[in-house]
């Protein structure tokens, strides 16, 4: 039975989701290569949400847990079951001083280890853009807006976590609007094997699997993506992370991350993070690819921050907050 707190999410999803068009394409031509760059819609779905993942170079498929799992790998929701605590998370990304992304996520473990439900909202907006007519004459400015609403469920089977999410995506651009839906699903496996002195976790996620988004007379595929990742527990305080990303509109690439964590009191922890993302390094000049940040847990609160330079385009700052109750 669907929990009462998620019923409004799925009712709204059902009302917004359009019927699947017969001609809707899931993949663009030359999929999974740089030749497909610019061929997808709803590009805000490609923007990393939260702060821990970006600080680690976006290496999160096997490491993410809690409510933010809705944005990276829904399987991570089930890792909350052992605590029995619900979590409410919020994130804000300032993107090059002209646009921003806001995100909210809520996750709730069910009693008797029957799984974890979650819901999320991601909103993207940017400054007004000058419009032009087909003849090249200036027209009224417009402000792009995008939103994605998700509902998810995850459950643990032994040492394996599995989860899935249904999302509704809506975009508005230059007086045109359109909606579609998409599926995310993933798995995580903890402590699979030992390498030297550390255990290995594995994870995989599929995101944005769904029909094309149509704006006016133009229909473009969603930014489908497959990610596989590993976490090496080097020692109780240090983990190393590696993810392999296969987006539908770019060549596959890798990302690396490392996190140093320590406890400094009961219920209090701190972590320093660093990462390297090969896609960012090869796509933009300057000090790109590198990232860093920190996280602080204070009893039931968690604060995360990420610093992600984008070369001559500037630097993005990402902040996320979470509360467990």
User: Does residue 176 have a pLDDT over 80?
Assistant: yes
- Alpha-carbon span 45 to 176, nearest angstrom: 19
Residues in the chain: 325
What is the CATH number for 287?
Answer: 2.40.160.60
Among candidates 243, 117, 127, which has minimal Cα distance to 188?
Answer: 243
Please give the distance of CA 249 from its chain centroid, rounded to a whole number.
Answer: 17
Looking at every residue in the chain, the average pLDDT score rounds to 86
- Alpha-carbon span 47 to 102, nearest angstrom: 11
Say if residues 72 and 184 touch (Cβ distance below 8 Å).
Answer: no
Taking only the tens place, the pLDDT of each residue in 218-239 is 899 999 999 999 999 999 899 9
Which pLDDT belongs to residue 20?
42
In a domain, 92, yes or no: yes
- Alpha-carbon span 59 to 231, nearest angstrom: 9
Residue 267 gets the label, from left (phi > 0), alpha (psi -120 to 50) or beta, of left
Q: Which domain holds residue 68?
A: 4-17+32-324
In a domain, 23, yes or no: no
Number of domains in the chain: 1
User: Does residue 6 have a pLDDT over 80?
Assistant: no
Find the radius of gyration of the CA atoms of the chain.
Answer: 20
208 to 64, 221, 226, 251: CA distances (angstroms): 18, 10, 9, 17
**pLDDT band (50, 70, 90) for residue 130:** low
In a domain, 55, yes or no: yes
Taking only the tens place, the pLDDT of each residue in 23-36 is 446 888 889 999 99
- Alpha-carbon span 198 to 243, nearest angstrom: 18
Residue 42 gets the label, from left (phi > 0), alpha (psi -120 to 50) or beta, of left
Note the pTM of the prediction, 2 decimals: 0.86
In a domain, 26, yes or no: no
**pLDDT band (50, 70, 90) for residue 141:** confident
Which pLDDT belongs to residue 12?
44
In a domain, 22, yes or no: no
Say if residues 229 and 207 touch (Cβ distance below 8 Å).
Answer: no
Taking only the tens place, the pLDDT of each residue in 283-312 is 555 567 899 999 999 989 999 999 998 777
């Amino acid at each position: 039975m669907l929990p009462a707190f998620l019923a409004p999410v799925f009712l709204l999803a059902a009302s917004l989701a359009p019927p699947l068009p017969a001609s809707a394409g899931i993949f663009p031509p030359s999929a999974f290569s740089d030749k497909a760059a610019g061929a997808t819609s709803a590009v805000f779905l490609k923007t990393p949400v939260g702060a821990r993942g970006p600080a680690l170079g976006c290496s999160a498929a096997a490491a993410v847990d809690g409510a933010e799992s809705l944005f990276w790998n829904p399987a991570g929701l089930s890792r909350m079951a052992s605590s029995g605590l619900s979590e409410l998370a919020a994130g804000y990304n300032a993107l090059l001083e002209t646009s921003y992304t806001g995100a909210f996520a809520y996750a709730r473990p069910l009693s008797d280890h029957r799984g974890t439900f979650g819901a999320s909202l991601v909103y993207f907006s940017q400054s007004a853009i000058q419009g032009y007519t087909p003849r090249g004459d200036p027209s009224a400015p417009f402000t792009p807006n995008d939103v994605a609403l998700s509902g998810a469920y995850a459950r643990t089977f032994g040492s394996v976590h599995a989860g899935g999410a249904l999302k509704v995506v809506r975009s508005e651009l230059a007086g045109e609007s359109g909606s579609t839906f998409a599926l995310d699903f993933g798995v995580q496996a903890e402590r699979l094997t030992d390498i030297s002195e550390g255990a290995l976790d594995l994870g995989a996620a599929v995101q944005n699997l769904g029909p094309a988004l149509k704006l006016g007379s133009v229909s473009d595929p969603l930014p489908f993506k497959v990610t596989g990742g590993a976490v090496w527990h080097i020692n109780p305080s240090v983990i190393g992370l590696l993810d392999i990303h296969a987006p539908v509109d770019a060549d596959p690439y890798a990302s690396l991350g490392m996190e140093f964590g320590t406890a400094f009191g009961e219920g209090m922890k701190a972590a320093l993070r660093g990462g390297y993302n090969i896609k960012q390094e090869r796509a933009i000049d300057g000090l790109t690819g590198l990232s860093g940040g920190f996280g602080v847990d204070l009893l039931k609160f968690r604060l995360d921050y990420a610093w992600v330079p984008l070369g001559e385009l500037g630097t993005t700052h990402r902040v996320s907050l979470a509360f467990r109750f």
